[in-house]
Structure 1
Amino acid sequence: MIQNPGFILTVLAFVAVIGPLVFVHELGHYLVGRWFGVKAEAFSIGFGPELFAWVDRRGTRWRVAALPLGGYVRFKGDMNAASMTDPAWLEMPAKDRAESFPAKPLWQRAAIVAAGPAINFLFAILILATFAFLHGESRTPAVAGQVQPGSAAVAAGIVAGDRIVSLGGRSMDTFDDIRLYAQIRPNEPVELVIERDGRRIVKQGRIGSVTEDDGLGNKFAVGRLGIAPGEPVVEPVPLWRAPIVAIERTGQIVRTMVETLGQIVGGGRSVKELGGPLKIAQVSGQAATLGLESFIFFVALISINLGFINLLPIPMLDGGHLLFYGIEAVQRRPVSPAAQEWAYRSGLALLMAMMLLVTFNDLSSFGLWKSLSGLIG
């Protein structure tokens, strides 16, 4: 049962989630940059006022700031924390120019930028691989063991014993595949291919919808077919195969993120479902009350989320830099400084708007606006 963690545990859990993940992300940039001979002038965990810092023998200033909502590595030749190129890098002495970020070949710059999201995915894969090795892999067949009366499955003509071959054209290998596909598609029409007595049957149906409470005061629609599995099957995972299972699970999580984001953009899902730092803090505290394994699994999910978001092609994010490098590779010259400046300003505006939106959603889920309206009324 989810318990109220209290304010102190919530703050500590949030810092325990975000701090290490930001460090891991920026460490990816730093290590690959150092590998290619780029000097890091600053490595910051957090933004805003500096709490404490030190300078290592390579001249990198390692700093911890007051707002643990991100971080950055500022390489030589960067104008700011967003890694915009400083035009003055061309005026540096030859030695300094050689160890600056803009002087490196395109593929090296791209590798340095991509290393941040990549290490977030690798970090999550390591966690999920450990869980797979310790607990095995769920391989329960995609067979309807039981069918709930009055459910979407009944309406579609599914009976106990039917094997679900595919939903919406997507192959269903295990019962978890059915759950993952259905849960983000409440009330959506779907084509079902089932196997019954050795025959394949194509049916048209609609995924059902139930309202669930996440234990945090938020109610949302979840898709359900209304079938239960038969006897659970959990197969042991040898050490050599654990990373493969972890990569598959990471792929499933990313695909769910992409599909859910597409639904929000397409209007099929409310933007109110987007959460921000306050929501992450709240869920961090809740996960901490469920035990160490639940908390570590939550860290893996946030790490995947952080890697995915940073790959979005939005200027200011790693994906925006990679987009510029892709354009540079095609046109054989860098994007003009004026275009980059316009794009970064637009990207900053977009990120600020998104931050305001998710913060508004977070405060709404906490009931703040209702409380204020009650005070005013």
Structure 2
Amino acid sequence: MLSFLWTLGSFIVALGILVAVHEWGHFWVARRCGVKVQRFSIGFGKALWSRTDNKGTEYVIAAIPLGGYVKMLDERVDEVAEEDLPFAFNRQPVLKKIAIIAAGPLVNFIFAVFALYLMFLIGVPTSKPMLGEVTDDSIVSLAGIEANSIITRVGERETLNWEEVNLELMSYIGQASIPVTWKAPDSYRERTTVLDTSEWHFEPDTSSAIASLGFNMYRPEILPILGQVLENSAADLLGLQVGDKILRLDGTSMQNWVQIVGYVSQRPHQAISVDVERKGQEVKLTGTIGQRDVNGVKQGFMGFTPTLDKWPDDVLFNYQYGLFDSVAKAIDKTWRLMTLSVEMLGKLISGDVSVKNLSGPIAIAQGAGMSASSGLVYFLSFLALISVNLGIINLLPLPVLDGGHLLYYFIELFSGRPVSESVQEIGFKIGGVILLLLMSIAIVNDITRL
């Protein structure tokens, strides 16, 4: 329950920030263009809080936190007093209308730069993209890339961590080859290998691009040495201590941590004997395995955690830049997220990426909860990603979105006359049906992934 509330709260905070940023773009430019803004609302439905400024704009936080809007004075919506006609949106020159509508997505991109700037300024603890085991007969294995190698570049883009490797690999979906530059273990010389991806089958909803090619991210070995023993747990009552190396359970030799977890989880409330190595001496302990419920299933639980082997030298680093370098890096990262989002939309239309991979509000909520739990820098990265996607989606030429309105206004700009209201109405209906269909698919996808 606590996890659900955290996820829900993180989602509301993230969505509130992104909606406020987007709508503020429309609001700020509308004010600068001389348009009267009647309401600035975060959320829909009943107002939980409201305030009106000296220019007559009502600021509202509403009960349903699933969006927001800016209501501008407009003769097509309400009756407008004669003295207010110069301040109505529909009376503005077409270039002003374009500026007001385009401001929302544009501010989304600017906000992404700001969020990533803060992230790079604070620094992100991460690791170089070092390979662990390479899957036999995989695309990577057949290309001759070795375990413990470091991926330095995919195509023309430098890759400093696994997130960047994954993003760049996704841009090659549907292509027959991927150029990958890597350094072999204990070597400073880079090699470039072209992966044959003509038979690459990648399902983003079930695996990552990395895993589907046969990469495995390097992770230090999990050692059967206790790193933590919870107070009053079954392990504590049994007499286990931090630093104990588990040798045998009930006389059965334990070769790795996975074997230990598997043995314990199948024996809730059963007696157990544990042989450990403690300060060079073998010690035998006896007691009872504890229990916990996992999705309604009773499992054995001891209340101890393992230690990890050491990382190789120079693999872990803090992904951080200075006050000015962070600006250039944030702009570059935002631009790459924008271009990749457009590329993925193109692949969705061409069929290289299935509509099964569309994600909706449930997936976004889960991402918000996970990133917020990981820390501020990860939450900032998540906000930047969603802000870019929100900006790109709003620029799609569907009449119910900003991009559809811009399409109408650009037609007006070049033809010299506005698109007729009847044509606009048909467009809004078609756009609404398409958007509803896409949202329905995304929500169904979210539910099937739960």
Q: Same fold (TM over 0.5)?
A: yes
Distance in 2 (CA, whole Å) between partners of 1:119 and 1:55 is 24
Residues 5 and 195 of structure 1: is their aligned pair in 2 closer, same or farther, counting only changes over 3 Å? Answer: closer
Whichever of the two has the greater Rg, that structure is 2
State whether structure 2 residue 67 is matched by structure 1 residue 70: yes
In structure 1, the partner of 2:390 is: 306
Residues 293 and 193 of structure 1: is their aligned pair in 2 closer, same or farther, counting only changes over 3 Å? Answer: closer
Q: 1:173 aligns with which of 158, 178, 191?
A: 158
Q: 1:348 aligns with which of 428, 432, 440?
A: 432
Q: After superposition, what is the alpha-carbon deviation per residue over 1:324-366, rounded to whole angstroms, capped at 9, x for unaligned?
A: 1221222122111111111111111222222222222222222
Distance in 1 (CA, whole Å) between partners of 2:193 and 2:352 is 26
Tell me the secondary structure at the aligned position of residue 352 of structure 1: helix
Q: 1:135 aligns with which of 100, 117, 123?
A: 123
Q: Is the 8 A contact 1:162 1:194 kept in 2?
A: no
How many angstroms does 1:291 deviate by? 2.3
Q: 2:106 aligns with which of 115, 118, 141?
A: 118
Distance in 2 (CA, whole Å) between partners of 1:256 and 1:158 is 26
In structure 2, the partner of 1:148 is: 134
Q: Is the 8 A contact 2:111 2:384 kept in 1?
A: yes
Q: Is the 8 A contact 1:106 1:325 kept in 2?
A: yes
Paired amino acid for 1:44: S
List alignment gaps of at least 5 residues for structure 1: 81-85, 367-377
Count how many residue pairs are aligned between Structure 1 and Structure 2: 346
Distance in 2 (CA, whole Å) between partners of 1:342 and 1:274 is 26
State the superposition RMSD in angstroms.
Answer: 3.7
Q: 1:271 aligns with which of 355, 364, 372?
A: 355
Distance in 2 (CA, whole Å) between partners of 1:139 and 1:221 is 17
Counterparts of residues 220-299 of structure 1 (less than 5 Å): 220-223=207-210, 224=213, 226=215, 232=315, 237-299=321-383
Give the TM-score normalised by the residue count of structure 2: 0.66
Q: 1:337 aligns with which of 418, 421, 433?
A: 421
List alignment gaps of at least 5 residues for structure 2: 219-312
Distance in 2 (CA, whole Å) between partners of 1:18 and 1:201 is 42
State whether structure 2 residue 92 is matched by structure 1 residue 96: no
Q: Is the 8 A contact 1:5 1:285 kept in 2?
A: no
How many angstroms does 1:164 deviate by? 8.2
How many angstroms does 1:25 deviate by? 1.0
Q: Is the 8 A contact 2:42 2:65 kept in 1?
A: yes
Distance in 2 (CA, whole Å) between partners of 1:275 and 1:195 is 32
Distance in 2 (CA, whole Å) between partners of 1:113 and 1:340 is 16
Q: 1:44 aligns with which of 41, 46, 53?
A: 41
Distance in 1 (CA, whole Å) between partners of 2:169 and 2:355 is 20
Paired amino acid for 1:206: T
How many angstroms does 1:111 deviate by? 1.2
Q: Could you tell me the percent identity over the aligned residues?
A: 34
Distance in 2 (CA, whole Å) between partners of 1:282 and 1:173 is 29
> Of Structure 1 and Structure 2, which has the larger fraction of its residues in helix?
1
Residues 279 and 289 of structure 1: is their aligned pair in 2 closer, same or farther, counting only changes over 3 Å? Answer: same
In structure 1, the partner of 2:282 is: none
How many angstroms does 1:248 deviate by? 0.6
Give the TM-score normalised by the residue count of structure 1: 0.77
Distance in 2 (CA, whole Å) between partners of 1:295 and 1:178 is 20
